[in-house]
Structure 1
């Protein structure tokens, strides 16, 4: 049984805790929050016995062996470093780290501590529907491009309009649409098509100095992939992967609740449907099998692949921000 500790007590942490419980492979034991009252409330609600408001004491504890990091984006790097140095496996919410320098340092630390496993929680690529897309894509005679859209209005934008700067829209905490919903579309593209040759980003900046929405263009040798994402507007536009006369249609590039293949005659074939389950269960199961059986050849192959994908996605996110001249607090311009 994997003993899980968590950093962060927001809605996504709640969803992850519920998911790991449903797998039957984790025991939720420990909560860290800057405020002990908050940690205690979350622990009591979810059945954890240990609470901390001191990060050093948290990581020194033997009450957990794997940590789920769901703090503001800019805090991931230092917390992941501390986890590695204390021998804790890491599951870090996307985006894992802010730039290539941070990612390189984490990879170096992981190489020095091979007993520690690292996962970026990009849930979309672990789902059965995504695997259905991968299988069908391999059957297409020609791939001629794709467009992925993931746009959901954030209630936190109401706070921006009221003159506040919530973390998800703050350059201090590595916020913005690209760093949130955009990550899912980048993961879609890189997992399905590999690394692009060139990238460009056209953001719509908001008052806080980050991107509220944007369009990214990933250029491949024979086609382009367009990514559209927004936290300041909604979209019900489908996402599509193009063959010649046929295509694969996704209802949503982030959640991927329904997938169809449309043949050259316009006939639809359903490839995948949402089963209504917690969408974080597949990634929790994938991470658990690697943690529980680290010497299994297929598990190690999958782990190396996910770790490389994380490095690739980090590079693309950084390059897109550089192209759009978006910098976070503390970064050189």
Structure 2
């Protein structure tokens, strides 16, 4: 069974997704949506898609696709996903999957009503080098702390400082550091440890009202998770899980490529797994496999996880004063 995909957006992330997904035997790109017909035609020709749409509703009703990958700005995720879900199309939606909890709840209920798959496109949790952490975490004994860092200076910040505010720093698009890259820290930690008992957040707000950088402490019954994220500075610190018998270190939070265990007795174990360079392959594969199996939810990037993550993001925004227009809808 070949799954025929439509793509929303003609940016670098959709290019990256297509390159990865084309390695899956049952993936077929058939349709492209762009507000610009010219841009859509050019993108479709480049990637071998037969259909180009400039009308989202028309695309959603079309019989030329089974599923859609949505990589538009965050503020459009819920509205666009719901259009496709109502037309019984499966939806793989980029992180952060929605602007807030209310939007996500509506997306999930629409997916359930129409018996189709909705999945958040968060690649980290499906990578071999994250799965190996899950399999080996018992080796470090009782976990007492985890530290997740993703700080990446954005080239768009240079433009921002010159007075050119690009999408990454616009609250009307539900963007900012937490929604863009902080989520890469929060999501895997929720998959590993579940929903925290409490959240304490702080951040530095830019003049537009979005966060440039921030940190979160997620408190659990007998441990805590410390998260650090930024789009206005870099960090080269690895992320770490600290247990009573040892530590697991991974080189980068969004796409771990090197994973080591350091035991308290001085031993070290390299548990790094072979992993495709095209990291989005694994999320695309998970999505296609669930569709083929007739399943309407991923057991990894599940509704429960996405909702817990969205609750944390929303609470962190409340504590730090990051408000989106979508919050008032």
Q: 2:327 matched to which residue of 1?
A: 331
Matches within 5 A, 1:14-33: 14-33=15-34
The offset of 1:264, in angstroms, is 0.9
Question: Helix, strand or coil: the match of 1:159?
Answer: helix
Superposition CA RMSD, Å: 1.6
Give the CA deviation at 1:276: 4.8
What does residue 259 of structure 2 align with? 259
| 1:282 is the counterpart of 2:282 | yes
User: Is 1:176 aligned to 2:172, yes or no?
Assistant: no
Partner of 1:157: 157
- Off by >3 Å, runs of 4+ in structure 1: 273-276, 300-305
| TM-score between both structures, scaled by the size of structure 1 | 0.95
TM-score (norm 2): 0.96
Separation in 2 of the partners of 1:330 and 1:47? 35
Distance apart, 1:305 and its partner CA: 6.1
Query: 2 CA distance for matches of 1:330 and 1:280?
Result: 28
Which 5+ residue runs of structure 1 have no aligned equivalent? Answer: none
Answer yes or no: is the 8 Å Cα contact 1:148–1:239 preserved in 2.
yes
CA positional deviation for 1:304: 7.8
Q: Which runs of 5+ in 2 are unaligned?
A: none
* In structure 1, C-alpha distance between the alignment counterparts of 2:137 and 2:300, rounded to whole Å: 22
SS state at 1:172 partner:
helix
- Measured in 2, the distance between the counterparts of 1:276 and 1:113 equals 34
Alignment of 1:264-275 (within 5 A): 264-273=264-273, 275=275
* Mapped partners of 1:132, 1:208: distance in 2: 40
CA distance in 2, matches of 1:293, 1:47: 27
The equivalent of 1:41 in structure 2 is: 42
Distance in 2 (CA, whole Å) between partners of 1:260 and 1:142 is 17
Q: How does 1:74-223 map to 2 (within 5 A)?
A: 74-114=75-115, 116-223=116-223
The offset of 1:302, in angstroms, is 4.3
Moved more, 68-77 or 303-312: 303-312
Supply the distance in 2 between the matched residues of 1:91 and 1:254 (Cα, whole angstroms): 18
- Number of equivalent positions: 328
Please report how far the alpha carbon of residue 277 of structure 1 lies from its aligned counterpart in structure 2 after TM superposition.
2.1
> What SS class does the counterpart of residue 291 from structure 1 fall into?
helix
